[in-house]
Structure 1
């Protein structure tokens, strides 16, 4: 999909008057939804104008009315994944529980679309859903009592941790099932059989390694990050709201779709 900046038309003028060959009316939302499906089914190679056009039953050139190029579409895909994270999320007023819930939603959303997550987790979209996510997370932290500089520092760590684990675990999920099983089997076939005289620490913990290394470490890492943030808040506030709840500021609830 090559760059065609001059072809992109304003949103109000984009709606196709006639259905495509498959009987659907083309829209930016439909193209993004189709791109997500193709990525999930066929991987990164599916993100081409020709494949999207075939899947939509539309002339491939029609896609340039909505997106400048493949990268523009990828940013829209990334923003859609963020939007799905926020769609059903509602703050409770407990900052730690709210951030944990958001983090786990980011992670599970990435695993639902691993190919898209691998391609887009490191991108900054600057689009509506991402802007709402930044506003929301900073609002949770500021509402809990973190000073602005601390709120940004923890926001940065929280988001990078979530996206890093999302990309890591999504890449593993995107492997063929046989390859995933083979990698998990290494812990049983190799590590669990190492002798205690040469590898005492691995031998002592082998059964835990076999059990734990099959799972994502993200929930543990997330709890550790939030625990460190709570300890920092206790230092700042003298213990006032480190493990408790904080006020929810106006505008914290994401707009309903």
Structure 2
């Protein structure tokens, strides 16, 4: 059973950790991101985190109900970083594009954390702020609420899905990732036109495009779709 989280006002340790650090939620989350970077998405444990913090692993439970609660806090931190890097312009398309790229970049900057948290709903303040901002952009542009919710759903899932997909590639060993990318030159480029006419006709384009993320193109497609919905709504 998860332990009860200590209220905010009582969380601060009376004494610093072995390393001289006074703990906080933010320090624990930042340290967890470092542990994930060093040990992978399955390597985040209370014991390992305690060692990295210079504190007893049980200290974690003064701040979080358990490791799952910490996982949601990590996702919330990544969402917050996306919003921190974003500035509204008043143009819905520019703002939505920038925010989508910000979410994608924030998660991709921490591939192992993206794999761990990309499919989670945190219910925490910074994630909620991102959701409120996206819906505000769409409703402010003039989309009716049903259409705004559909676009919001597609937009956030698309951003996170591509981040997790591309994070999976970044999390591979360099040799494995290079081997995957080389397949477009070593295998696909040599398939005969008699048996694979469409791949043979586009082999050079595939080799050029496939090692790169499709997220920018997918995002523009969604923005085009949203613009068409807005035009229909206004008509």
Q: TM-score range by the shorter chain?
A: over 0.9
The within-5 A match list for 1:122-133 is: 122-133=119-130
Shift of 1:111: 1.2
Structure 2 unpaired stretches of 5+: none
| 1:172 alignment partner in structure 2 | 169
In 2, the alpha carbon distance for the partners of 1:122 and 1:45 equals 15
Matched, 1:23 2:20: yes
Name which of 213, 217, 226 aligns with 1:216: 213
In 2, the alpha carbon distance for the partners of 1:119 and 1:45 equals 8
| 2:55 alignment partner in structure 1 | 58
Shift of 1:79: 0.3
Matched, 1:5 2:18: no
Deviations 1:16-75 (A, max 9, x none): 121111111111110000001110111023311111111011111111101111100000
In 2, the alpha carbon distance for the partners of 1:197 and 1:4 equals 61
Deviations 1:76-113 (A, max 9, x none): 00000000000121110110111111111111111110
Secondary structure of the structure 2 residue equivalent to 1:16: coil
Matched, 1:134 2:131: yes
Verify the 8 A CA contact 2:85 2:102 in the aligned structure 1. Answer: no
Shift of 1:142: 0.7
In 2, the alpha carbon distance for the partners of 1:11 and 1:210 equals 53
TM-score using structure 2 length:
0.98
| 2:183 alignment partner in structure 1 | 186
| 1:99 alignment partner in structure 2 | 96
Higher mean C-alpha deviation, range 170-179 or range 40-49: 40-49
Structure 1 unpaired stretches of 5+: 239-257
The number of aligned residues is 235
Verify the 8 A CA contact 2:41 2:115 in the aligned structure 1. Answer: no
In 2, the alpha carbon distance for the partners of 1:197 and 1:121 equals 42
In 2, the alpha carbon distance for the partners of 1:193 and 1:96 equals 41
Verify the 8 A CA contact 2:193 2:201 in the aligned structure 1. Answer: yes
TM-score using structure 1 length:
0.89
| 2:77 alignment partner in structure 1 | 80
Moved over 4 A (4+): none
In 1, the alpha carbon distance for the partners of 2:227 and 2:42 equals 43
| 1:228 alignment partner in structure 2 | 225
In 1, the alpha carbon distance for the partners of 2:41 and 2:147 equals 37
In 2, the alpha carbon distance for the partners of 1:41 and 1:138 equals 36
Shift of 1:5: 2.5
In 2, the alpha carbon distance for the partners of 1:151 and 1:137 equals 9
In 1, the alpha carbon distance for the partners of 2:197 and 2:58 equals 63
In 2, the alpha carbon distance for the partners of 1:136 and 1:190 equals 45
